[in-house]
Amino acid sequence: MARLAAPVALAELGWMAMTTVDTIMIGGLGPAAIGAIGVGSSVYYSIAIFGMGLLLGLDTLVSQAHGAGDKADTHHSLAQGVYSAVFIAIPLTVLFLFMGPVFLWLGINPEVSRLAAPFVTTLGLGTLPLLLYGAFRRYLQGIGHVRPVMSVLISANLINWLFNWLLIYGHWGLPKLGVVGSALSTCFARVYMASALLFCIWWFERGNEQGFRSILRRPDPRRLFRLMGLGLPAATQILMEIGAFGAAAVLAGRLSPTAMAAHNIALNCAAVSYMVPLGISSAAAVAVGQAIGGRSFALARRMGYMAVGLGCTFMACSAALFLAIPQRILSIYTTDVGVLATGVSLLSIAAVFQLFDGLQTVLTGALRGVGNTRIAMIVNFVGYWLFGLPVGYVLCFQRGYGIAGLWWGLTIALILISLALLVAWRRHWRLATLSQ
């Protein structure tokens, strides 16, 4: 499980690093440019990640078919995943072409909006390779080849950095494109990522009896609907989770600049630690799915619990760091005394929810491995939107706890979600045992 999870976790960290590289490289253009790619990226990925989430059903279909030794069925699912990526990319790309006025409608600073609009429009041109990369990645993970995913994402950061350097500031005689150059470099990196993973699939399949050509087949409406039936709840769950933290950011914006800065920094720290259980979650989906495909149900159950143990162990270590050296962690981002003081209190709250965040993330993947994506969608809606955010709002604005109250609301949500998913996981295997 660790061998399967480690490369995927590193890939998730590499994915997050791309946005960090963009922010660092664009920094020389001033605050407006930094704000433009920050706002633009948030809007773009809130929508694009929903499209990526629609492909998560490949985790279930490919891993179970691979566990059953049915290579032809894994190819069938991959082909339908590619068609799905194309079908999803077309409306999303058109949507991004008309996103410009939305920034002014949201009340974003006009100077920032002026730069964010072409940034998102250009970034939208890379939606198809992004979704194709998602389909190829899910297939490779499903058949147990996770190292290429890690290698491609790490090398894609280098390509992104190179084209950022060339196109943002106009080196080597190329035009100086500013934020548009940053978006173009991301698009080039995505084309590389999709092409590299497609090459890896060809390389791994070249000696198989089924062969790479068996992947080339017509759309199958039945398999497409099954893929969407698994992917739509997973995508909705991701959207609700992102939306909840986005809503928290909007609420934090009503507070003082110090509180908002501390919120953003502490949330970034929590997001970095979250990448590891997110990788373990993908590994859990694959390992559980392969075991179920091979009719090894006891192994599937054991692999799920093993993944939970790995995720919780890492998050316990993360929580210990947040409690032991909070100021040292926060000083990487700022030296402002007020932000540091508020940030220390927020990291202590983050330490409380780390274990539950890791638990719910890994269990979501494990349940996806057995083909259950709806329960995570339901409990995320109930946990975040019916309990966490309302409680956080009351504590923050009516009880006078400020930004800490908002974070305690999110903590309550994570506790409820993780416990509900744990009950669902245990109930699944209790019912499976009774049915046998």
Name the phi and psi angles at 104, rounded to 5.
-70, -40
Q: Is 181 within 8 Å of 26 (Cβ atoms)?
A: no
Of 196, 219, 242, which residue sits at a domain end? 219
Could you give the CA distance from residue 317 to residue 320 in angstroms, rounded to a whole number? 5
Could you give the CA distance from residue 346 to residue 162 in angstroms, rounded to a whole number? 36
- Structure confidence by residue, pLDDT tens digits, 107-135: 666 776 777 788 888 888 989 999 999 99
Q: Is 362 within 8 Å of 307 (Cβ atoms)?
A: yes
> What residues make up the domain containing 143?
1-219
191 has pLDDT over 90? yes
- Structure confidence by residue, pLDDT tens digits, 378-420: 999 999 999 988 999 899 888 888 888 888 999 999 999 999 9
Give me the mean pLDDT over the 253-261 stretch: 69
Indicate if 325 and 435 belong to the same structural domain.
yes
Measure the CA angle with vertex 284, ends 204 and 130; round to 5°: 55
Domain total in the chain: 2
Distance from first CA to last CA of the chain, Å, rounded? 26
Dump the DSSP string for 127-176.
HHHHHHHHHHHHHHHHTT--HHHHHHHHHHHHHHHHHHHHHHTTGGG---
Q: Is 112 within 8 Å of 32 (Cβ atoms)?
A: yes
313 has pLDDT over 80? yes
For residue 316, being part of any structural domain is answered with: yes
Indicate if 417 and 305 belong to the same structural domain.
yes
Indicate if 37 and 6 belong to the same structural domain.
yes
31 has pLDDT over 70? no
**Banded model confidence at residue 434, pLDDT cuts 50, 70, 90:** low
Could you give the CA distance from residue 427 to residue 304 in angstroms, rounded to a whole number? 13
Q: What's 397's DSSP letter?
A: I
21 has pLDDT over 80? no
Give me the mean pLDDT over the 68-75 stretch: 84
Give me the mean pLDDT over the 296-308 stretch: 91
Query: Could you give the percent of the chain with pLDDT greater than 90?
Result: 25
Give me the mean pLDDT over the 66-77 stretch: 85
Output the pLDDT for position 119: 84
Output the pLDDT for position 331: 82
Those residues whose C-beta lies under 8 Å from the C-beta of residue 250, and which sit 6 or more positions away, are none
Name the phi and psi angles at 253, rounded to 5.
-65, -15
Of 183, 198, 219, which residue sits at a domain end? 219
Output the pLDDT for position 16: 75
Q: Is 257 within 8 Å of 31 (Cβ atoms)?
A: no
Output the pLDDT for position 30: 67
Of 197, 219, 241, which residue sits at a domain end? 219
Output the pLDDT for position 308: 93
Task: Please name the amino acid found at residue 11.
Answer: A
**Banded model confidence at residue 271, pLDDT cuts 50, 70, 90:** confident
Indicate if 13 and 115 belong to the same structural domain.
yes
Name the phi and psi angles at 426, rounded to 5.
-65, -40
For residue 227, being part of any structural domain is answered with: no
Indicate if 178 and 274 belong to the same structural domain.
no
Q: Which of 72-81, 200-209, 248-257, 347-356 ranks highest by mean pLDDT?
A: 347-356
Indicate if 277 and 130 belong to the same structural domain.
no
For residue 226, being part of any structural domain is answered with: no
163 has pLDDT over 80? yes
Task: Please name the amino acid found at residue 261.
Answer: A
Could you give the CA distance from residue 117 to residue 248 in angstroms, rounded to a whole number? 24
Give me the mean pLDDT over the 256-279 stretch: 80
147 has pLDDT over 70? yes
Q: What's 6's DSSP letter?
A: H
Q: Is 192 within 8 Å of 199 (Cβ atoms)?
A: no
Cα→Cα distances 115→88, 125, 176, Å: 26, 17, 14
**From the centroid of its chain, how far is CA 243?**
13
Q: Is 249 within 8 Å of 331 (Cβ atoms)?
A: no
For residue 57, being part of any structural domain is answered with: yes
1 has pLDDT over 90? no
Indicate if 60 and 184 belong to the same structural domain.
yes
Indicate if 1 and 91 belong to the same structural domain.
yes
Give me the mean pLDDT over the 304-326 stretch: 92
Those residues whose C-beta lies under 8 Å from the C-beta of residue 157, and which sit 6 or more positions away, are 14, 17, 18, 21, 189
Q: Token pair of 391, please?
A: 């409680």
Query: Could you give the percent of the chain with pLDDT greater than 70?
Result: 90
Measure the CA angle with vertex 251, ends 250 and 252; round to 5°: 90
Output the pLDDT for position 91: 92
For residue 181, being part of any structural domain is answered with: yes
**Banded model confidence at residue 335, pLDDT cuts 50, 70, 90:** confident
